[in-house]
Structure 1
Amino acid sequence: MVNHCKRLIVVVPAYNESQIIKKSVTKLSEVLKHLIDQQLVSKESKLLFVNDGSEDDTWDQLISFHKENSLVTAINFSRNFGHQNAIIGGLTEAYDYGDIFITIDADLQDDPWAIVEMVKSYYEGFDVVYGVRESRTTDTLFKRSTAGLFYTLMSKLGVKMVPEAADFRLTSKRVVKQLLSYSERNLFLRGIVPDIGFPSTNVYYSRKERELGETKYPLRKMIGLAWDGITSFSMAPMRFVLFLGIFSLTVSFIMLVYTLGQHIWGDTVRGWSSLMLSIWFIGGSQLIGLAIFGEYLGKVFNNTKQRPRFIVQDNLLKEGQDNA
């Protein structure tokens, strides 16, 4: 039997979404009103927008929507902290107010109506419900290819991930409690949430193209997120450096034998190109190794500083609860 008192908090990260934020509020409000009317969630449920240091008037619009729409509330970061930190920030601030939590981006590429099926799956006993896209027809060939390669690589490295699932998901309160206990600074939530465990299922939907505004995940940020995922969950890059070093030594030994042979037969000039090749190869291997080790050391350094992952400048959710 459905517990009608469950409060749903929909966490919506937003960064420079001035063009589409109104439509996002409208669509998500329709979905939340439907859930309330169907008595699937409490009337105290909220849409929590997280303004991640937007440079446009996204925050000003959210203040207006908050005054006009009782379902809308928001928090405002002091600066841009990044998408993953915006999700964690929203879940942190919403934890004391909600029972069920859903994260979805403000660009409306993920189908808001899939939230209804997610909530129903929660009542069937699932603590985590992943929104999984049915296909990547809206993506370019390059993005489809690299995404498939990335999921395959992460699987080979032993990282638990749900293919074709991003950050559109439902999590129960006990899952969020465990999630917030992860204190690392370089977050990769697509890998952390499956690592937590608990019963989970998938809800499939058709992903749409972005209607307005620009993507907040260009190639540079996608590569950065993928690199965070690899280095946060696997020691494979370090092991790769070890095998690269062994391979370099093997090649060097072969070149040594070759050089000695050339010396015995009195033809040493021809070895100049081989020597230069060896120097460049070993030097490059060392630089790659130093860069990879430096990346891991840098992550350790960032974590030891224990600096906050986000700073909330304004909190309409807390103000609303204080006035209640």
Structure 2
Amino acid sequence: MENSNKISIIIPSYNEEQLIRNTSEVVSEIMNQNNIPFEILFVDDGSKDGTWKQILSLSKDNSNIHGIHFSRNFGKESAIYAGMQYAKGDCCVVMDCDLQHPPIKIVEMYRLWEQGYEVVEAVKEDRGEESGIHRFMANLFYKIISKLTDIDMMNASDFKLLDRKVMLVLLNMKERNSFFRALSSWVGFKTIQVPFRVAEREAGESKWSTKALVKYAILNITSFSSAPMQIVTICGFIMLIISFVFGINSIIQYVTGKALGGFTTVILLQLFSSSIIMICLGIIGYYIAQIYEEIKGRPKFIVSEKC
């Protein structure tokens, strides 16, 4: 009896012209060999190369391949949510176009879903080939976000299988700046993890520079937690303690009749306090900017073409 539970394989793609065809062939072959009904949904995140032309060509030759093309680059998170919105399967799996997420793992994840699991998370056994600074920054970010969210994110990835009900919960969250990797764990449901090894890229270069990772980290930490706002309170207490110490010292000098010297100390205190104030204003300003982005109510993405 043929399996009727269809899986939607969502593949965000940005300037992946060299990889689209090979990825679709590898994934299709694995799904067909294991008799799993599937659709492949490529989400072209405003690519500047021939990515969309490749998707169009493949969709004409294979009815299981579909595509969405953004009007411009909106980012990977938006591409994932667009994929979930347009997916027609009973469950979906999100994977990278470069095949660093091994497609053969989808079969294992799908079988676990058939057993009743609603979220199947693929966790990294290693991070693959990365530069030292990139690895350090990535580990630092995941340590911070794990601490702030009380969710173990150290080996987390976007490579996840989600049941249809989980997809609907995530799509009904109205926040514009969403952190898919954390939110898909935060929502709960019956969850299991499967380990995987990060494979080497088939072609092209990673789109994640250290600068992009830092920007991504700041955006997701502030969108998922208000903990950085507590830095303002901590800095305020530090300044209070310093002021209290120097205040007592000034009173003692006044009572004992000693001259109140220390021009250098005054300058250093002014510089220190000004720096603290500017840092605090920067943190507050960033959160206000996030609020401003949210209340404008602009869509997460704009689809210009479908196939």
Same-fold call, TM cutoff 0.5: yes
**Are 2:5 and 1:30 aligned?**
no
> In the alignment, is residue 127 of structure 1 matched against residue 118 of structure 2?
yes
Q: How many residues align?
A: 305
Number of the residue aligned with 2:205: 214
Structure 1 stretches (4+) deviating beyond 3 angstroms? 256-264
In structure 1, the residue matched to 2:43 is 50
**CA shift in 2, pair 1:170/1:26, >3 Å:** same
- SS at the partner of 2:46? coil
- Deviation of 1:258 (Å): 3.9
Partner of 1:19: 18
Pairs within 5 Å for 1:177-256: 177-256=168-247
Kindly state the Cα deviation for residue 285 of structure 1 after the two structures are TM-superposed.
Answer: 1.1
Residue from 68, 78, 81 that aligns with 1:88: 81
* Counterpart residue type for residue 19 of structure 1: Q
Q: Which moved more, 1:64-73 or 1:51-60?
A: 64-73
Corresponding residue of 2:8? 9
| More displaced 10-residue stretch of structure 1: 201-210 or 247-256 | 247-256
Q: Which amino acid aligns with 2:289?
A: G
Secondary structure of 1:64's counterpart equals: helix
Match of 1:73 in 2: 66
**Match for 2:14: what amino acid?**
Y
Alignment of 1:77-116 (within 5 A): 77-94=70-87, 97-116=88-107
Alignment pair present for 1:313 and 2:291: no
Decide whether the 8 Å contact of 1:159 with 1:233 is kept in 2: no
Q: Which amino acid aligns with 1:171?
A: L
SS of alignment partner, residue 89 of structure 2: coil
Amino acid at match of 1:109: Q
For the residues of structure 2 that align with 1:159 and 1:180, how far apart are their CA atoms?
23
Q: Structure 1 length as normaliser, TM-score? A: 0.89
CA distance in 2, matches of 1:294, 1:30: 50
State whether residues 11 and 103 of structure 1, in contact with CA within 8 Å, keep that contact through their aligned partners in structure 2: yes
In the alignment, residue 77 of structure 1 is paired with which amino acid?
F
Q: Which whole-Å CA distance do the structure 2 matches of 1:289 and 1:174 have between them?
A: 41
- Displacement of 1:267 in angstroms is 5.9
User: 1:97-136, CA deviations, whole angstroms, 9 ceiling, x for partnerless residues?
Assistant: 2101000011111111111111011011110111111112
Deviates more, 1:200-209 or 1:224-233: 224-233
Deviation at 1:35, TM superposition (A): 3.1
CA positional deviation for 1:213? 1.4
| Aligned 8 A contact 1:159 1:234 in 2 | no
In structure 2, the gaps of 5 or more residues are none
**AA paired with 1:243?**
I
Deviation track 1:201-223 (CA, whole Å, cap 9, x = no partner) reads 11111102223212122112211
Q: Do the aligned residues in 2 keep the contact of 1:51 with 1:77 (CA within 8 Å)?
A: yes
1:149 equivalent in structure 2: 140
Structure 2 letter corresponding to 1:16: N
Q: Alpha-carbon deviations, 1:226-257, whole Å to 9, x = none?
A: 22222122221111210111101211232334
Preserved CA contact (<8 Å) 2:137 2:214 = no
CA RMSD of aligned residues (A): 1.8
Structure 1 unpaired stretches of 5+? 317-324
TM-score calculated relative to the size of structure 2: 0.93
Which among 156, 162, 169 is matched to residue 165 of structure 1?
A: 156
